Structure 1
Amino acid sequence: MRVGPVGMMICMEPEVVAALWGFGGAAMGAGGAFLGTWVQQRHQAQMEQKRREEARADLLEERGRTAADKALTELYDLRRHVSTWKVGMSAEERNQWYQTGYDHTYSAELNAALIPEANELRERLRDALEVVRTSMDVDAWQSEHEPYLSHFDAEHSIALLSAYMRGDSLPTPTSREKRETTQREMREEGWAEEDRRRSNPS
């Protein structure tokens, strides 16, 4: 008796079906294992990225806190130094008094520049410290009284940085700080205009 192709297919169907099921199961198992591995690796990569971001944020916060602490220390040293001014100092003593105070303002401004994500503070403190330098110049060379201006302006700079470190709103600018801010902005606008003229000569 001859068995045609259809009969052979019918006769072999259970084996074929079993083989197909086995192959399908193996494929599904391999696919599931691959998918599980991919999901796990993706999750691990996300966790690692999150860990790196948190570590970077912690590092920036630590560096910012360290820089702010150093700047505040310089400001306290500045206030203490300002109080050493006394009537009757010689020209050399006045010059040394001013220079030491200037160095404190410079160091405070330099450390404040390293505080991340603090643009408003940096601008405010830069103007406030420029006011301190101007006040020290007045107290050192143009007056014969206690350094009221320098002491007041140093106190204002301390209040600015302290408020930022506490997370409070920054104090209202003093009249001298407002004047310095206006002058600085005018200078910057003038420099920008000069750069534009140089870039586009007529």
Structure 2
Amino acid sequence: MDAEVTAGWIGLVGASVGAAGALLGGWFQQRWQAKTAREERHEGYSRQSGETALDAFVQMQQAIYAYVRDHPHEDGGDHKAEVLDKTAGFAHVARSQIMLITRASKLRERLDEVLQVLIGFTAAAPAEGQTVERVRNSWILQASQEGMDVLSAFMRDEPIPKRSETFIEQMTVFATVLDDAS
């Protein structure tokens, strides 16, 4: 073969390899960008769901504080239906939003515990000199604070905090009541 023909073939092969490399590189880059965009979208959904759930816990506490503020001298009886309905509504919102948080199974498990204990406030029994209402308010406030602490750590990209001593006590009481009921 002539040197000119050989040089032409080398150029053609080189151009073909270069074009194939460029196409392959473009394909990999497109896949990587699509994956990154999907991850960012999921992170955005998770953050938005976390913020909504955190807001539900805050509103739950505000409902209890408002009830206590508006009824400071009521020493007996059960919660008013209105505050219970509000608390249950906020717990429902929190639960539905928590289920939408992606790639956080431990967070969802922990918040599910919080919500189970939270709605299990009927397990709270007053000690000597305490009213049922005051104990239940305290129960709801402490469980919702646990949820706020866990969600806040998630939102700050920090590890999930350990269970508080108060929450562990609530879990124990709740489990005992469930065992007694079955």
Q: CA RMSD in A?
A: 2.8
Query: How big is the shift at 1:88?
Result: 6.4
Correspondent of 2:112 among 119, 126, 134: 126
Query: Within 1, Cα distance between the matches of 2:173 and 2:92?
Result: 17
Q: Which structure has more RCO (C-alpha within 8 Å, separation ≥ 6)?
A: 2
Deviations along 1:38-60, one digit per CA (max 9) or x if unpaired, are 01111111111111121112111
Runs of 4 or more, structure 1, over 3 Å off, are 88-91, 136-139, 176-183
What corresponds to 1:175 in structure 2? 168
- Consecutive unaligned residues of structure 1, counting only runs of 5 or more, are 1-16, 187-202
**TM-score, structure 1 as length reference:** 0.69
Q: Is the 1:136–1:150 Cα contact (8 Å) retained in structure 2? A: no
Instruction: Tell me which residue corresponds to 1:145.
Output: 134
May I ask how many residue pairs the two structures share in their alignment?
A: 163
* TM-score when normalising by structure 2: 0.76
**Which blocks of at least 5 consecutive residues in structure 2 are unaligned?**
126-130
The answer to whether the 8 Å contact 1:131/1:176 transfers is no
Instruction: Give yes or no for contact 2:50–2:155 (8 Å, CA) kept in 1.
Output: yes
CA distance in 2, matches of 1:34, 1:182: 70
Quick one: distance in 2 between partners of 1:116 and 1:127?
Answer: 18
Q: CA contact under 8 A between 1:78 and 1:104: conserved in structure 2? A: yes
Corresponding residue number in structure 2 for 1:97: 83
Q: Distance in 2 between matches of 1:122 and 1:96?
A: 28
**Cα drift, residue 170 of structure 1:** 2.2
Q: Output the CA distance in 1 between the equivalents of 2:139 and 2:171.
A: 15
Structure ID, larger Rg: 1
Structure 1 CA distance for aligned equivalents of residues 21 and 168 of structure 2 = 61
- Would you say the 8 A contact 2:117–2:143 is kept in 1? yes
From the superposition, tell whether residues 73 and 121 of structure 1 become closer, same or farther in structure 2 (CA, over 3 Å): same
Aligned CA distance change for structure 1 residues 44 and 182 (closer, same or farther; 3 Å):
farther
User: Hey, what does 1:23 align to over in structure 2?
Assistant: 5
